[in-house]
Amino acid sequence: MPDEPGADGLPDGTADTRPDPPVDTSQGAHGPYGGDGPQGGDATLGPGAAPSALPSALARVLAFAAIIVAGLCGGLIGFAVADLQCTGDCTVPTSLAAVGGAIVAAGGVAVIAVLVLRAMSEWRAQAPLDRR
C-alpha cells in the first residue's frame, strides 16, 4: 500500500538522505547550563538527570523501623499502666490503653523521623556534587 511507511520510515520506501541537523558546540561540552541538560545534571547520572536530594534508602528503612519499635514499646507501656491500675476483668481497658500508647508513641517518633529525614535531604542538597 502506498500509505504505509517503507523500511526507512518514508511513505514511498526510499532512503532518507537528509543530513543530520548541525550541533551547536559554542557553549562547550556541557552546554549553557554546565551539566548534561537544563537541570545541570552530573555526567555520572545520565543525560539531563538532576541529582536526588532524597535521604538514602538505609536512612528511610531505619526511620520506619524506629517508628515500628516505638509503637511496640508504647503499646507495652500502655498495657502495663492499665494492667497495674485495673483489678478484675480488664481486657477492654488494657487493650485500649495498649492501642492508645502504641498510636501516641509511633506518632511521636514518626514526627521526629520526618524532621530528621527532611534535615538530611537539605544537607544533601547543599553538599557539593563531588561529595555525594
Residue corresponding to grid cell 500509505: 3
Using CA atoms, how far apart are residues 68 and 107, in angstroms rounded to an integer? Answer: 10
Using CA atoms, how far apart are residues 113 and 111, in angstroms rounded to an integer? Answer: 5
Q: Please list, in sequence order, all residues whose beta carbon lies within 8 angstroms of the beta carbon of residue 93, skipping any fewer than 6 positions away.
A: 82, 86
Instruction: Say yes or no: 45 and 84 in one domain.
Output: no
pTM metric for this prediction: 0.58
Instruction: Say yes or no: 38 and 85 in one domain.
Output: no
Count how many domains the chain has.
2
Q: Which of 36, 51, 66 is the last residue of a domain?
A: 51
Task: Give the type of residue at 86.
Answer: C
The pLDDT tens digits for 64-116 are 999 999 999 999 999 999 999 998 899 999 999 999 999 999 999 999 999 99
* Residue 24 confidence (pLDDT): 59
Instruction: Say yes or no: 8 and 67 in one domain.
Output: no
Using CA atoms, how far apart are residues 108 and 70, in angstroms rounded to an integer? Answer: 9
Expressed as residue numbers, the domain containing 80 is 53-131
